[in-house]
Amino acid sequence: MPRLLLPFLLLLVIPATLMAGDGPSMVALFGRAHVVMVHFPVALLMLLALIEVLRWRRTAGSMDQTVALIAVVTALSSIVAMIQGLMLGGDDGESDYAKLVWLHKWLGIATTLVACAVAVVALRRQLGDTIGLTRIYRALVLPGAVLVSLTGHYGGALVHGENHLRIMPWEIWQDLFGAKQNGPLDPAHADIPDKIDFWRDIDPIFKRVCYECHDAKEQKGELRMDSREAQLKGGEGGPSIIPGDSAKSLTMIRIRGEGDDPRMPKKKPPLSEREIALIAKWIDTGAEWPAKP
């Protein structure tokens, strides 16, 4: 086991080294690798739980070295995935997306703590197994499988949209017995605030679906969207926003999927009717973009 510590410590140095250099894009690349690394603790914690279910009647005895190794790898990969996730940051504010980021982050931190505790107990069992240690181990690894499932579920919701896979009991209950929405949301009757607050209502949407391809680092179609001036200037297709006229604003045309060009964002779920209504009202009321508080 000590042989694993040196490579792991060297791995932890990578983020600090990248931040100290002149390559912020490498830092972003390391953070975005979160979606790859996170699959290790998801799969391994589920595997550890399955092993315990299959050997449930075995209350004591020597702990297999392979299981202990899996537990250590689970803990190490959880820590790396957590660091990468924290490097990605998150949205500030009170939007639904920001709340989803907050929930995913803290479930991930809780999963990492449980995975580390599982590894400690698994290594301790190598020195001598007891019924007490077995119970502690199982009391950690089984809830850990539930935690990592929840974390993965909400991580998927961040990428594919909140309704990508409604399998949680409360979601199924809501689908079966909750209020049904008939037809598309009418922006005129949507739950839209009287006054649009850019930082509360609009920026979280742009940050989630636009800035990755249209910010200071990358401007696909020569379009930058992380400032009002940049959107007024526009890109190859012209101005991104026309204050007071959402119908002619390129941003609205693209997110609605109108015209010959593909709907935006291309590789992400389409915006909800409410989000589209928020952006439309923001543009129609002048597209105010105050300094960040």
Inform me whether the pLDDT recorded for 20 exceeds 50: no
Write down the pLDDT at residue 209. 85
pLDDT in the model for residue 274:
87
Cα of 136 vs its chain's centroid, Å: 31
34 & 84 share domain: yes
Q: Say if residue 193 is in the same domain as residue 151.
A: no
What CATH code is carried by the domain that includes residue 36? 1.20.120
Check residues 273 and 58 and name the one with the higher pLDDT.
Answer: 273
Number of domains in the chain: 2
Rg of the chain (C-alpha set): 24
- Residue type for position 128: G
- Is 210 within a domain? yes
Task: Check whether residue 158 and residue 267 sit in a common domain.
Answer: no
Query: Helix, strand, or coil here: 168?
Result: coil
Choose one of 131, 164, 197: the last residue of a domain. Answer: 164
Verify that 160 and 193 share a domain, yes or no.
Answer: no
**CA 25 to chain centroid:** 19
Short-list 104, 76, 111, CA closest to 89: 104
Instruction: Say if residue 204 is in the same domain as residue 246.
Output: yes
Query: In the prediction, which pLDDT does 113 show?
Result: 94
pLDDT tens-digit map of 234-280: 888 888 999 999 999 999 998 888 877 778 887 677 888 888 999 99
The answer to whether residue 236 is domain-embedded is yes
Within-domain flag for 94: yes
Query: Is 41 a member of any domain?
Result: yes
Q: Where are the alpha helices (DSSP H) in 212-272?
A: 228-233, 250-256
Q: Look at residue 179 and tell me if it is in a domain.
A: no
pLDDT single digits (tens) 72-130: 999 999 998 888 888 776 555 555 667 778 888 899 999 999 999 999 998 888 877 77
Q: How confident is the model at residue 181 (pLDDT cuts 50, 70, 90)?
A: very low
Look-up of token digits 């505790």: 117
Six token digits for residue 284: 């129609």
Asked if residue 215 is part of any domain, the answer here is yes
Domain contains 242: yes
209 CB contacts (<8 Å, ≥6 apart)? 264, 265, 268, 271
Does residue 198 share a domain with residue 63? no
- CB 47, CB 141: distance < 8 Å: no
Structural domain boundaries, residue 91: 2-164
- Shared domain for 157 and 221, answered yes or no, is no
